[in-house]
Structure 1
C-alpha cells in the first residue's frame, strides 16, 4: 500500500511539473509601437561637412513603446532623397549598443553616407533619415522621416590607406608589382620623390590587381581608369596627393646640396640616382678651424624649380653621430639659419672624402654618410 501511495505522489508531482512547463512556454509578446516623433536635427537642416574636423551631428527621437515594457533596440537608417527605406544606403545601431534613443555621427561618417547616396564631392544634396525600432524579431520603421541638406567638400569620402604610382612613365614601369610606393604623411595625404619620363601613369591603392585607380584632371584627383600622360625629358619630382581636398602638387627637384655651416656654403652636390635616393659619391670634407676647435656641422639644401628648401635635424643642436639612434639622421624641413638644426660629421671624416646618400623613401626620410 505504501508503494502505491508513493508512486501516486511521484505521478502527481510529474503532472504538476508538466503543467508548470506548459505555462512557462507562453508565446513571447513582440508587440511594438514604432517611434512616433523625430526630435533632432530639424527637418531640412543644413549641414556643411568638414570631414577633417571632429565636428558631429546628434540625432535624437522619442522612445518606441511596448505593452509589456520589454527591451527595445534602435537603428538609424539613411536613404536617398525620395527613397522609401526599403533599401537604405546606410544603417547603424544607436548609442549604447542600440538601447539609447540617440546617435552621434561625425562629419566623416556623414560624408561617407552622402557619398553612398550619390551626393558628389563639392556639391550639395539631400539625405533622408528615419529610425527603426525592434523587439526580438519584430522590427518597425517609424512613419516619420526627416531630410538633411548636405554640402560636401572636395575630397574623397574614403581615403586610401596606401598609394602607388605605376605605368610606363614611372620607375617601376607597367609591372604593377614594382609600382612606386608613396609615403603617407597624414590621413589621406601622400608624397613621393621620384622621376617621371615620357609615357603614362596612374595611381592605385594596391600594387596587385583589383585596387582602386585614380588619375589627375587639371590638378584634381579623380577616381577612374583614365591615365596621366607625361611628355618631354625625364625629370625628378616631389609629388603630393591630398585626398581630403582631391588636390595635387608637383615640384621639380633639381639637386640637393650638402651645406656646411662654418663655411656658410655648399661643399658638394647630390644627384638623383633612382628609387627616391639622391647621392654624391665623393665629396671632400675639411672641418673649419675656430679658436675653440674644429667645426663639423652640416645640413642639406634642396634645389627646386620654385627655389631653395632646407632640410635638417629635428634637434636645434646636435652631438656627434656615433652611437645615436636612427632618428638622428632623419630629415625634416628647417630654416636657412646658418647653425640651427644641423648634424655633425663623424670626427673621422675630417680631411677625408665621404659618400653621402639622402633616402626619401616611404619608411623614413633619412641620410647616410660613409667615410671613404
Structure 2
C-alpha cells in the first residue's frame, strides 16, 4: 500500500493511441504509452509533480547533462497476469538503486514516495498498454538528468526525473553468441561500473559493434585489472552452471547489482540449488565447456530476463555449449520467475505490486 503524500497534477490525453497499436507486436523500446511522469528539482527540493501526455520536449543545448554526463536511469517491468491483473516487479529495489546511482553521480536522491506514487499513478492510467503475450511486458524507464542551462564543469543545480513506458516483447528472440572482450573494458576500480549511469552504456557501444561485425550478439566483459576474470554479459549479469552449481561473478564496485540476478539467486537457493558468487576465470569456463562440466551459460537482466548463451568466442575459436532444450537450471528458473510474474504460482518473496484501476 502506498500512502498518497505527493500532489501530482494529472493531464490526461484527449484521445488514446492504444487502439492503433498492437501491443503484442511492437519492437522493443520504439512505441511509448500515452502518458509520462515528470518531477523537477529546483532550489534544493523536488517539486512540480505531474503526469502529462507523452510528448517531445524542448531543451537547451547548454543543458548540463548533454555536456558533463549527469544522467542515470533504471529499467523495470509490469506484467499482465493470467487473471487480467497488471503487476509491477520489485519496483522499490529500482528506487533504491536509482538513489545509489544518484549519490555516485552527485545528483539529488529521490524520495521513495515520489518514485513509487509517480510510477503507480502513471501505470494506473496506462496499464492497458501491458501486453497479454506470454513473453510480453510493459517496460518502464525511470531516469534523471541534469537540466541546468550552463556551460562549465560543475554539479548541476537543477534536475528532472521522468518515467516513460513502452510495451515490449522478448528482447532476444533467439539464444545468443557472445565474444570475450579483454581489450576494451566496461568498468574500472574507483569508477562508476556499479551504478546505472548513461556513460557506462555509451562506452560499450564501439566494442559491441566490433563483436557484432564478427557475428556475435554481445560481449562478455572482463575485469580491467587483469583481463582474466569474467564480469558481465553485454548489458546483463552473467551466470554459468558447472557440475550442477550456479556460478556468477561476485558483486564489486565494477559490477552492477542486477535485480534479475538477485531474483534468480534467491529462487535457486529456495530450490536448494547451490550458488557460488565469486571470481570467474575465463580459463575455468572455457576448459569446463571443453570437458563437459560447464553445461549452461546465460545472461540475466530486466530487458532480457534470461538470455541463453549458445557459444562463447575467444581468440578466434567458438566454445559451444549444449542446446537450450537440454538445459536443466536456467530454463527451470526462467519458467519459475515467469510463472510468479504471471500469477501462476505464489509470490513467496512479495516481489509484485498490483496496479489498481484509475478513477
Greater gyration radius? 1
TM > 0.5 fold call: no
Q: TM-score range by the shorter chain?
A: under 0.3
Say which structure is richer in strand. 1
- Structure with more contact order per residue of length (Cα contacts < 8 Å, sep ≥ 6): 2
Say which structure is richer in helix. 2
